[in-house]
Amino acid sequence: MVHDEGEHAAGDALDDLRARLRPEDVGLPDYGDRRRVPGLRREELALLAGVSSSYYTRLEQGQSVGASPEVLDALAQALRLDDAERRHLHDLAGSVRRRPAVRRPPEEHVDAATLELLEALGDVPALLSGRRGDVLAWNPVGHALFASHLDPSSPQDPGSRPNLARLVFLDAHIRALYTDWPDKARAVVQNLRMVAGRHPDDGRLTSLIGELAMASSDFASMWADHGVRPCDSDVYDMHHPLVGALTVTQQSLRPPQNGEFHLVLATAPRDSASQSALRLLAQVVSDGRGPRPKHTTRS
């Protein structure tokens, strides 16, 4: 599977997750016999989850769409999934049962209160992203840190908004910004996969994933891995063209006005060289040496 979370999405994910586990990982004996495929056999996982081998086989092959939450939880436990992976498995199974029609959702808009919150952050670099990772707004120092080479007013126009996933995979400036680019790229893909599982009917999201899979072999390879992880908080080493090397903690918060939006903040430890670099960047913006975006309230 490359880009859609369709009828066989849950089965594909189960197949991939099963291949990651060895018998000894889950307390099963390994008699040293040669295996045609890596990981657990279907009958071994079925045994661990307490379901019949024939039923599990149908489930993995997409021939059974009625898996109960209890069965999914049993499979998640047998596969040693964390909470994010377990929720994602439920999302995939639910999308198969619903069989939603793909649609193009309305444009995302930012309310005045959220823009005021963004402005109130002052010199803390921050941006607001939508469900699919489109940049809906950023404060001046956030623009300077994350994408100073882009037009600062671009988030105001729905037709030209930067997209975080596109930037990470298709923009050379962003690839150079993150010292460990593969780590950042994997985090973006794993978060995007979680969103795709929750919103299989989002036509814009489906188009974005297909576009990235065609344009980037790195994306296609990482997407096929089936990993999921929310981008809640991560530490990244960066090399910024204006202030040099710095290490920041990127945290993602959800504004109360819209749970689909994410307010992404970048901070550094007190009295650290990285905090000094962020202060220098804020000073560059304040002195007018960097472009400053102008926010327009939309309702």
pLDDT digits (tens, 9 = 90+) for 65-87: 667 777 777 777 878 888 877 77
Residue with tokens 């993995």: 60
Query: Tokens in use for 254?
Result: 């959800």
Q: Which residues contact 48 (CB under 8 A, 6 or more apart)?
A: 26, 28, 40, 78
Taking the C-alpha atoms of residue 5 and residue 298, their distance in angstroms, rounded to an integer, is: 32
Give, in order, the Cα–Cα distances in Å from 98 to each of 4, 68, 212, 220, 289.
15, 14, 26, 26, 52
Are 9-98 and 112-286 the same fold in CATH? no
For domain 9-98, the question of CATH label 1.10.260.40 is answered with: yes
User: pTM, whole model, 2 decimals?
Assistant: 0.71
Max CA pair span of the chain: 69
CATH code of domain 112-286: 3.30.450.180
CB 45 within 8 A of CB 57: no
Angstrom CA distances, 180 to 174, 238, 261, stand at 11, 8, 26
Res 140: pLDDT = 94
DSSP 3-state of 156: helix
Residue extents of the structural domains in the chain: 9-98, 112-286
* Reported confidence tier of residue 31, pLDDT bands at 50, 70, 90: low
Give residue 206's pLDDT.
83
Kindly report, residue by residue over 220-236, the tens digit of the pLDDT: 888 877 778 887 899 99
pLDDT reading at 19 higher than 50 = yes
> Which stretches does DSSP call E strand in the chain?
126-129, 135-138, 233-240, 244-253, 262-267
Distance between CA atoms of 291 and 114, rounded to whole angstroms? Answer: 22
Q: What angle do CA 18, 23, 26 make, to 5 degrees?
A: 85
How does pLDDT run across 245-278, given as a tens digit for each residue?
999 999 999 887 777 899 999 999 999 999 999 9
Tokens (6 digits) for 74? 């049993």
pLDDT number for residue 103: 58
Question: Tokens at residue 164, please?
Answer: 């975080």
* 245 C-beta neighbours (distance < 10 Å), count: 12
What is the distance between the alpha carbons of residues 81 and 91, in angstroms, rounded to a whole number?
Answer: 14
CA 185 to chain centre: 9
